[in-house]
Every structure is written in C-alpha cells, then in structure tokens.
Amino acid sequence: MKNYGFIRVAASSPKLKVADTSYNVEEIKSVIKEAGDKKVSVLVFPELSVTAYTCGDLFGQDILLKSAEEGVGEICRYSKDYDILIFVGAPVPVGQYLFNCAVVIQKGRILGIIPKTYIPNYDEFYEKRWFSSCRDYSQKQISYCGCDDIPFGADILFQDDDMPEFCVGAEICEDLWSPIPPSSYGALSGATVIVNLSASNELVNKSAYRTELVAQQSARLISGYVFSSSGVFESTTDLVFGGHLIIAENGLILTESKRFERDSVLAVTDIDLQKLSSMRRKNLTFRDSMDKAQVYYRRVLFKRDAERMDCILRKINPYPFVPSSSESIDKRCSEIFNIQVAGLAKRLEHIGSRDVVIGVSGGLDSTLALLVTVKTFELLKFPMSNIHAITMPGFGTSSRTYNNTVNLCKALNTDFKEISIVKASLLHLKDIGHDPDDLDVTYENAQARERTQILMDIANKEGGIVVGTGDLSELALGWSTYNGDHMSMYAVNCSVPKTLVRYLVKWVAENQISKEASSILFDILDTPVSPELLPADSKGRISQKTEDIIGPYELHDFFLYHMMRYDAPPDKVAYLAFNAFKGKYTKEEILKWMKYFYKRFFSMQFKRSCLPDGPKVGTVSLSPRGDWRMPSDASPAIWLKQIECIEL
C-alpha cells in the first residue's frame, strides 16, 4: 500500500525487573515482535529500559553496566530481521564518564547513541550522582557492543534514505522540561519526529502537565512526538511510575495510554509526515528560526524494506472543520460567532453607518448572517429597526422558506420588506430576448442579479451597507452568481464552511435566542439547501436541491480542508476520504465529486479574485488579499490526471 506520507510509530512501557537485564531484554524483544506484527516503523522504549531507571547506586557497578551492554547486543542480534527504528534506554560508560543514553538500533546494528543533555538533580531526582551530560564529552564516536566508530552525541538525526521527510531526533526525559529542549534544535535541523525516552514518576496532576508539555512541544515544532515513560515495575521505594505513553502530532494527542497497567503496553498510531512538511514550508516563522539556531546536526541514514502499512490506524474526521466533542463545538461556535460580530461591528463603526441591508431567504447562510447582524446591533446598541431584512420571492421560492423568513424577522424585531422579483425578472428576460420557459443559467442568474440590485439600491437609499451571506464552501466551488449574490459590502460568512454553518445556527438556536425564534431556526436547519432559482413543485415545495446538483457539501468541505490546509495531493485526499466516509459513500461516488470539486475550484478562481471584505475565522480562507492567491487561468490538468489514476 502507498503510505501517502504516513509512518507508523509506537511507544512501549514493558514489564521489567530492576537490575535484571536478562529479564528486561526478553520483554523488550517480545515488544519488538509485537511492533513488527503491527508494521511499526519507529519504536520507543522508556529511559534506561534495559536496566530500569531506579537502580540507584547500582549504576556504579561494572557488572550491571557490562550486563546492560550485553543486553543491548542481544537486542541488536534479535532485531536483524526487523527494519524498525528502535530506541532503547541504557547506561553507556565512556572512559571515566557514564551516560544515560538512547541507543538507536535497526536491522541488527547500532545506528547511533544519544546521551541525555539535562541531568536533573533536584527534589526526588539525583541523576548527577551517576550520570554526566552530553556536554561533558566532545568525542563524536565511541566503541560499544564490539562496534567501533558508533556515532555519539545529542546532535544526531536519523533519516530514511528513500523518504527524506522521515527524519527522527531523540531526547531523554528532563530534556523536554528544559527552557529550550534539545528537540527544538533537532526539529529546526530537519527532524519531523521527536522521540523521548522518559522515566517520569507520578504525582498529583503531573500526568496532565506531561500531556500538555508533549502536545505543546509537538505544536511548537510542527512535528510528531513519541513519549514513552517507565511503568509500575520500577522500584517503588520512594516513587511510583505509571507507564505514561503519549503520541502527538502538531499539538494534537493522537493516542495516550492508560497508566498503571500491570503488563507490557504498546501504543501505536500513524503520523502524517506529508502534512507536517507542508505546514513547515508555509510557516515562515519556523523557517526563519532555522537561521537563528546555529546548531548543526549529523545525519545517519537508514533504509527500510518495502512499505508495510496495509491500512491507516488513526481515525480520520469526516468533518475536519467541526470539533468532535460537544464541549469543543460550543466553544468553537462561540468564538466564530464573536469573530463575525466583531468584524461587522468594526466595519459599521469605521464607516459611521447604523443601517444594514440583508437579503434573507429562509436558508442557512442568510439566516446565519442575519443572526450575526442582530447580535452586532445588540452589541452596538443600535435599534433592530435599522436592520433592513429584505425577502425577494422569485420563481422558485417555497412556502416553507418564505414563512420561516417572515416569522424569523418578526421574532427578531428587524425591519422587514417583501419585494417580489418575478415581474422585474420577466421584464429583464424579455428585454434580453430570453424565453422564460428556458430554465437555464441565464434564467437563474437573472434572478440573483435582480436581488443584488435591489439590496444595493436600498442600501444607498438607507445610507447603509449590504451584508453578504455566501459561505466558504460556495466560494470554493464558485456556487454563486458573479456580481450577484457574489457581491456585498461586507461578507460575514466568507470563511465559514457549509458544514460549520449548520452547527453555528444550531448553537445560536440553543444558546443565544428566544424560544420562539429558536423553533424557527430548527425548522430552517431541517430545510434542504437550495438557491430556489427554479420553480417550486405543484405543492409549493423546493424542487432544486443544491447537493443533488453539485454533490454533498460534507465531501467538498473535506476536499477543501485537506487540499488547502495541508497541500495534500488528490490521491491522498481520496485515500483519507475513503477512510473517513467508509460505509456512507462508495469510492466511485467520492472520486466523481472530487473530480467535480477540482474542476470548479480551478475554473471559478476569477470569482474569488474580487471578493468583498470579510473576517477570517479559521485556518482555511480564500481571501485573495491574504490566504489564497491563485491565477484565474491556472490549469487543473495534473490534479485531474492523478484522480484518473487512483485505484479503487
């Protein structure tokens, strides 16, 4: 299977016996086998896992150090049939020094040894009694396990010879707690994955802090971070260890183990290196920081066998713009709504206007824009009568959307006008010689532009501005009429995707509005998305459903997010979509609408090149002034060609 930029990583906290290296090595070998069966590429064990972290003054015993070296040699021999990059903790003597190290093993050989940089010696820690810092030793190579010239030092990265973005750096426990962790320099030098061999004991609230620390470091470094800590089998003379395993990616905790388990534990997930590399290229602060680091790392190359992943382990969210938990959704909706309100309030104050004109149709987008406007007027203490809500029934207006519009404006106490566009549209079609029975794009767009003309002229009359209602998903697809609903003086929904519009309206209905208005909003939420530009059916119901024409917005939002946020190519976007929407859409359906998405995204750039102002609310935005600058005549050929080559 093509890996699409993913690599599988694992953290383990194996069973152990303090100072019993033979027992510990057998447990480590058992975990290596399990990781191999799970097709893992990077495996991280805890700090000093060959001996146990809590050996105390036994670290001064030659017999223990020699036994640890023999144990590492045994792990090397066992690993010859595995191309996993293995990080195992061991005490490594060099001359008069003893170092707390990560020994890096692959295919039966030691690739390098990373000594710990920061040696804790406070509170319950007494490591300086036994161990030296990497700063105490300047030689770049050592002899160990019968091998000469093994790369040694904290300035080593391990890079896949065939996949350069797969580059791993290591640090050990306390290193992460330092003001500037060594991993910061490693990431700036190219490491996309940081591993941490740790022995972090348990105290009240320490696990939460540890998790935050790992998440924050992975976010700051735009990297994967694999943290493995010692478990309950360490000595409990004074401390208890929980076996905390954490794997993070750019601030997101991908997986986290239960603590205090009474057996060996293996936490496995997949890290998206293509995503991380894309984000680093975009983040100029990250790039500029590279020039300031002034730390130079050696690279040790390694080779893996043919890619072994046969599936993806991590869950792919089908709604990437929408948080997964209800608590997060409430927080996200509140923040977005406040951004929209703040943007409109600033614009009104700046131009000195107390009047707003907005076209309302009973659909989700215009409803959200109206709710934002109402909240803005409450904030500025402007009268609701200065919100000029205009409904403009046309050939396709249904009784359901019409009634919801009228009732909502009444419940919100806005000014309300009804101006039919039927006569004006028919006259215009006659003037341009178009048969009104020909329900083509001219028939539809004539109505949209008539509505926009009405809104603009009323705005002139009232001395106000037109608030736009179009959303991010419509902008991506160009699903708007050029110089029609495409245009306004301030577009409050311009960076809110359709999948999120629904949650915002629901959040307002549940938290921000009267019971009477709330019931109307819930009916609007249940109404099919439609521009209502084609005649209603014989019962006055909506006959033109947008998603029947252009495809599901949830798919288009998924395509848009991964294409823009992480620069994912079509084959990867398709692979992610196959996993995210398994059981809901067939692969054929996904590819059909993906091809439609890319065609429209490219061909409709000219509409995005002249968008009105509007607030950015999330990481994906199509503003031509900021986030997305694309030539209107760019060709989608190579994107479409890749879609054609995707295997089902």
CATH numbers and ranges of domains, the chain: 7-302 (3.60.110.10), 326-550 (3.40.50.620)
From the candidates 173, 333, 409, 494, which is the catalytic residue? Answer: 173
Alpha carbon 40 to its chain's center: 23
Write the pLDDT tens digit of every residue in 266-283. Answer: 999 999 999 999 999 999
Task: Note the pLDDT of residue 300.
Answer: 98
pLDDT band at 587 (very low <50, low <70, confident <90, very high): very high
pLDDT band at 296 (very low <50, low <70, confident <90, very high): confident
Do residues 367 and 395 lie in contact, with contact meaning Cβ atoms separated by under 8 Å?
no
Do residues 607 and 478 lie in contact, with contact meaning Cβ atoms separated by under 8 Å?
yes
pLDDT band at 507 (very low <50, low <70, confident <90, very high): very high
| 554 included as an active-site residue | no
Q: In percent, how much of the chain has pLDDT > 70?
A: 97
Task: Note the pLDDT of residue 203.
Answer: 96
Give the span between the Cα atoms of 648 and 639, in whole angstroms. Answer: 17
Task: Note the pLDDT of residue 512.
Answer: 87
From the candidates 15, 27, 39, 47, which is the catalytic residue? Answer: 47
Do residues 494 and 615 lie in contact, with contact meaning Cβ atoms separated by under 8 Å?
yes
| 261 included as an active-site residue | no
pLDDT band at 620 (very low <50, low <70, confident <90, very high): very high
Write the pLDDT tens digit of every residue in 314-373. Answer: 999 999 999 888 888 999 999 999 999 999 999 999 999 999 999 999 999 999 999 999
| 47 included as an active-site residue | yes
Output the average pLDDT for the chain.
95
> Which one, of 75, 63, 68, lies nearest residue 99 by Cα?
68
pLDDT band at 311 (very low <50, low <70, confident <90, very high): confident
Task: Note the pLDDT of residue 325.
Answer: 80
Give the span between the Cα atoms of 372 and 367, in whole angstroms. Answer: 9
Task: Note the pLDDT of residue 287.
Answer: 83
| Dihedral (CA of 88, 188, 173, 224) sign | negative
Write the pLDDT tens digit of every residue in 517-536. Answer: 999 999 999 988 776 667 76
pTM of the model: 0.93
Write the pLDDT tens digit of every residue in 379-398. Answer: 999 999 999 999 999 998 88
What does the pLDDT average to over 561-572? 97
Task: Note the pLDDT of residue 642.
Answer: 98
Read off the tokens for 63. Answer: 């017999």
b vs e for 372-399, b when ≥16 Cβ sit within 10 Å of the residue's Cβ? bbbbbbeeeebeeebbbbbbbbbbbbbe
Write the pLDDT tens digit of every residue in 13-28. Answer: 999 999 999 999 999 9
From the candidates 116, 498, 506, 607, which is the catalytic residue? Answer: 116
Do residues 618 and 470 lie in contact, with contact meaning Cβ atoms separated by under 8 Å?
no
Which backbone phi and psi does 98 adopt, to 5 degrees?
-130, 130
